[in-house]
Amino acid sequence: MPVQRGLPTAPAAEQSLVQFKTLLATEVDPGDPRPSLRELGTIGEGSTSVVRLARHLPDNSLVAIKKMNITTQQRPELLINEAVLMRTFSHPNILKMFSSHIIGNELWVIMEFMDCGALTSVLVNTRLSEKQIATICVPILAALVFLHDNGVIHRDLKSDSILLASDGRIKLSDFGFCATVTPANPRRRSLVGTPYWMAPEVIARAPYTTAVDIWSFGVLVIEMVDGEPSLFNEPPSLAMCLIKDKFTPHLKHPESVSATAPLSLMPLDIRRPCATTSRRAFYFQQSAHLQSFLNATLERNDAKRATARDLLHHPFLSLAGSTTCLRPLLKKIIRQK
C-alpha cells in the first residue's frame, strides 16, 4: 500500500476540506460531464478511489473515469497532481487525461481507456521473455526521460502504474504522488511511494532527486522477471528497514534454467517452483546484459545511479522490438476479461 503522511482531523479538517475544494475548483474543468457519459462498469478499485469504464456519447469512444473521494484522502492536496499536472503532460507513453471535474465530494478525472489494464495482471501468470521485458522497458524509460526533463518525479513507479492496450500501446499512469523539482530546488524529502519499490534515500528521509524513479524502475524490472518485487513476502515496515540499511533488490533465482515462453506453454521439466512466493513461483536465468541493466538502476549511491536517458542506450535494450511481440500476451488478457 502506498505510504503518505496524514492531515489534521475534524473540525480543522472539515474547514480545510472546504478550503481545498474551493482551491481545487479553480483548477478543474467547468461543467458536469455526466450527461455525456454512460457508465458501463468498474475496472479498478482502491481504498480511496474507483475507476469506471464509460462510453463518451458524443463520439462513442470508451474512456476511463477515475473517481477520488476528496473526504477520505490522507493528503488531499496531492489530488492537484491528478487534476493539473496530468493535464500538462503530452507524451505518447503517458496516459492521456481529457478533463477533470468536481462532482459532489469526488474528483473525477476522465482519461483514455487502456483495454488490457495494468502490467501487474500480466506478471501474475505469465513468464516474459527478455525481448518482451526490453520492449516494455523502452516506452517506460521514454516517459521517464520526458518527466525528468520537465522537472517531475513520479515517486510511485511499479507494475500497477504501467497500463497496456491490445494495440500495443504502453503508458505510464498514476501521477498522484508525483512532485516537481527545479534547478534551484532539485531535491525533495517527502516520504511517499509504495514500500517495496522505494529507493533507500526516500525511506531514510534524505533529500532525493529524479534518481528515485530509476531505483523503482529497477524493482519493476525485477517484477517482470520474478513476478514480484524483492522482499514481497516481508511486512512493508521490515522491507523498508532492510532497503534503507543495506538490502539491494535482486533476482531470486539466477541459476535456474532459461526459458522464454509463458508458463502455460512451458514443458514441466524446465519449471522450478519456489514455495515461498505469493504471486508466481517460477524463476529463470537472466542474461549478463539484463544483470548489468539492473545493476545500473539499483545503485545505492543515487549520484552514481543511471539516468533514464542513459538506460535507453544500454545494450540490454538492443533486444527490444516492436510491440507486436507483446500481442500474444495482450490477446490472452483480452480473452480472460
Q: Which residues are annotated as a binding site for ATP?
A: 67
Strand partners, 100: 109
Q: If you count them, how many residues does the chain have?
A: 337
Query: Do β-strands 179-180 and 152-153 pair in parallel, antiparallel, or remain unpaired?
Result: antiparallel
- To the query of whether residue 160 is one of the catalytic residues in this protein, the response is no
- The annotated binding site is made up of 67
Helix count and strand count (H, E) for the chain: 11, 10
Q: Are 298 and 251 in contact (CB under 8 A)?
A: no
Cell 504471486 maps to which residue? 279
| H or E stretch at 309 | helix 308-312
CA distance 134 to 327: 15
Backbone angles phi, psi at 192, to 5 degrees: -140, 155
CA distance 147 to 210: 9
HEC string for 174-199? CCCCCEECCCCCCCECCCCECHHHCC
Question: Reduced to 3 DSSP states, what percent helix, strand and coil does the chain have, rounded to the nearest 5?
Answer: 40, 20, 45
CA distance 321 to 124: 23
Q: Are 206 and 189 in contact (CB under 8 A)?
A: yes
Cell representation of residue 243: 532497503
Among 156, 160, 213, 302, the one annotated catalytic: 156
The residues assigned a catalytic role are 156
